[in-house]
Structure 1
Amino acid sequence: MCDTVNSSGHKHTVDSGPKEGAWHDHTHGRPGSELHDQTSCCSWKRLVFTLQWPGGFCQSLDNETLCRIPPSANNWTIHGLWPLRAQHCCSCWPMFHSDVQELEAELAEHWPSFVTTKTSFNFWTDEWRKHGVCAACVEGMNSPQKYFQICLKLRGRFDVHKMLEDAGITPSCERPYKVPEVHSVLAPHLGNKHEIQCVTDDKDREVWFQVKIPLTRNLTVGCDHRGGGDIDGDPAAGSIPGRSFSPGHPCPPQVPFYYFPIDHQRPRRPCG
């Protein structure tokens, strides 16, 4: 049980989420028996939905030549939906292009790859293989198509750009922000336990590049994703060429950080 905040901002208490066990999906197939033997795969209780900001993402790469921002990327985009502490999930459930064909236009806009060596489809495939098959313990996400549909719905629900803009917090090269002022704007929508993540750029500036939103199994916000050692850095960091380690860290509460604008022509250096 934990206190949660729903999409309208009202606080309430919930139990764990949807029923488990409905692994059969006659449209997209079903995983083999190997999956059912991996009980630790389904032992997770919480997830983290992670959004990334294109204006800051490129600062997280060791090699700036690897970074690109597609022309359609003008807002916060999806990094992933990650069950916490899920282990040994099935590797026998492949994803095919046909699984996301109906969603491809939306995914290309809201979940693009910013790395030149990885196509967006490869990015989605990696996220399904590493995290989606673990999330599939929940009936509403028990196929690639359902998993990505849920992610897109969460992206629409958590419109971080609008939340910030309505509060006068906009991308800027000159004006820095502090965690408390941004946290106070996002908390009514993302819960008190969301995490504002920064990277340190080559001028030693703290740059905002991600926000992590902890969720229960039934996708309500409010549960702390830390405290139990659930996340060690960034679960997806190893899949990004040029990032040999995860430089992401919680933005220091008392140190100003920058919310850089998006520059499609100079993605790594939008502010010089």
Structure 2
Amino acid sequence: MITQITIFSLFFAHVHAFLAWSPDAAGPRGSLPMMDEVPLRIGSDFDYLMLTRIYPTAVCRADDDSVPDSCEIPAETPDWSIHGLWPNYRNGSYPQFCDGIPRKFDGKLIESIEERLTKMWPNLYPAKTAESFWKHEWEKHGTCAQSLKNLSTEYLYFFKTMEVDLQFSVGAALRRAQIVPRSEPYLLQEIQEALRNELSSGKNVQINCLTDKKTKQTLLGDVRMCFDRKFQPIDCPHAKSTQPLTYILGHPPPLPSFKACPSSVVYLSDTTSRVLRVAGLEHREVSFWINPLIPIYSSFFSSQEPKQEFLWGVSVPFVAIVLFVYYKSGRGF
């Protein structure tokens, strides 16, 4: 009798705790912290910030040339999406993996802005979750930016980056200059002048390209805008080298590498691209034994609280199975 009471007590306590949970009820996970509560000794004394936006259509075209169907553009992704906000030194080097608070990424701290992040800062590689991308950006770059008050927490790092991205929209700046995706190439100088005039208040930006291996075209791939520590636009240094996006998957196969652009580049139209904008189910890393359950609980993945709904859909049947097995074992209740 004691065993029966214990098992059912644990079961109903589990269900009650789960139903009572919500991002708001769980505490101020997404609320702005008091600035004075954050010690400014953390982070790094960097010189300037670089905000990098990528053109997903070009990234997926170049990537799928190397590894077919490895890159997907989620639904509602803007024409230009965020890659990261990176502290830099004037000598060309940059700090990374600094002592931050928290040092390790905590997804709970950004739950209140996760829906916006998923659209503005998506992961294009379905083999990994969106959180794996944000985790990398926070731990490698965000932890080194915490010496600034408005970047002093994980939440503020992502919130401020999205705010600056909206304020200085690459796609809108190009459209104002009548530079739109098309099959014919643009002179690189046209794009540079358009971004100086319409985006960065006359300051130089870095522009990097990708190669379409099948057509041999050079594609406009990313735009990097530089800011001082007060988020005022400054001239970006000339790019010495760029890094491939290999960190998103973390292992082979190889991913496309950005490079310096030639004198003319193609601003690829998404109507001519072979990339896929995915609607519906979000790709997630789940154990193999959960995969058969995904069609049953597919509606949970498209909800605004996918993690909570998915746990509810899986945990209750799981607990029921445990209780059934316990009963069939002959121990009874």
Normalised TM-score (structure 1): 0.75
Bigger RCO of structures 1 and 2 (CA < 8 A, at least 6 apart): 1
- 2:134 aligned with 1:124, yes or no? yes
State, as a whole percentage, how many aligned pairs show the same letter.
25
Q: Contact 1:71 / 1:264 at 8 angstroms: preserved in 2?
A: no
1:142 is aligned to 152
SS in 2 for 1:107: helix
Letter in structure 1 aligned against 2:67: N
1:105 is aligned to 115
2:167 is aligned to 157
Q: Rate the CA distance shift 1:258–1:156 in 2: closer, same or farther, 3 A.
A: same
Q: Contact 2:226 / 2:233 at 8 angstroms: preserved in 1?
A: yes
1-structure distance, mates of 2:141, 2:97: 11
2-structure distance, mates of 1:153, 1:121: 19
1-structure distance, mates of 2:118, 2:233: 26
Shift of 1:259: 0.8
Mapping for residues 223-262 of structure 1, pairs under 5 Å: 223-226=235-238, 232-234=241-243, 237-241=245-249, 242=252, 244=254, 247-252=257-262, 254=263, 256-262=264-270
2-structure distance, mates of 1:56, 1:148: 24
Q: Gaps spanning 5+ residues in structure 2: where?
A: 1-32, 89-93, 277-333
Q: Rate the CA distance shift 1:66–1:263 in 2: closer, same or farther, 3 A.
A: farther
Mapping for residues 13-162 of structure 1, pairs under 5 Å: 42-61=44-63, 62-84=66-88, 85-87=94-96, 89-90=98-99, 93-162=103-172
- 2:193 aligned with 1:184, yes or no? yes
1-structure distance, mates of 2:188, 2:82: 21
Letter in structure 2 aligned against 1:103: I
Q: Deviations over 1:125-172 (max 9, x none)?
A: 111011000011111111111001111111101112122112221111
Normalised TM-score (structure 2): 0.62
> Quick one: which of 215, 220, 243 aligns to 2:227?
215
- 2:208 aligned with 1:197, yes or no? yes
1:5 is aligned to none
Q: Deviations over 1:107-141 (max 9, x none)?
A: 11111110111211111111101100001111111
Q: Gaps spanning 5+ residues in structure 1: where?
A: 1-24
2-structure distance, mates of 1:149, 1:75: 20
Cα RMSD (Å): 2.7
Q: Rate the CA distance shift 1:74–1:142 in 2: closer, same or farther, 3 A.
A: closer
2:13 is aligned to none
Bigger helix fraction: 2
2-structure distance, mates of 1:143, 1:118: 24
Letter in structure 2 aligned against 1:136: Q
Q: Rate the CA distance shift 1:195–1:114 in 2: closer, same or farther, 3 A.
A: same
1-structure distance, mates of 2:126, 2:196: 34
Q: Rate the CA distance shift 1:224–1:160 in 2: closer, same or farther, 3 A.
A: closer
Q: How many residues align?
A: 230
Q: Rate the CA distance shift 1:87–1:126 in 2: closer, same or farther, 3 A.
A: closer
Q: Contact 1:70 / 1:264 at 8 angstroms: preserved in 2?
A: no
> Quick one: which of 170, 176, 182 aligns to 1:166?
176
Moved more, 257-266 or 45-54: 257-266
Shift of 1:224: 2.7
2-structure distance, mates of 1:249, 1:72: 27
Shift of 1:244: 4.1
SS in 1 for 2:210: strand
1:10 is aligned to none
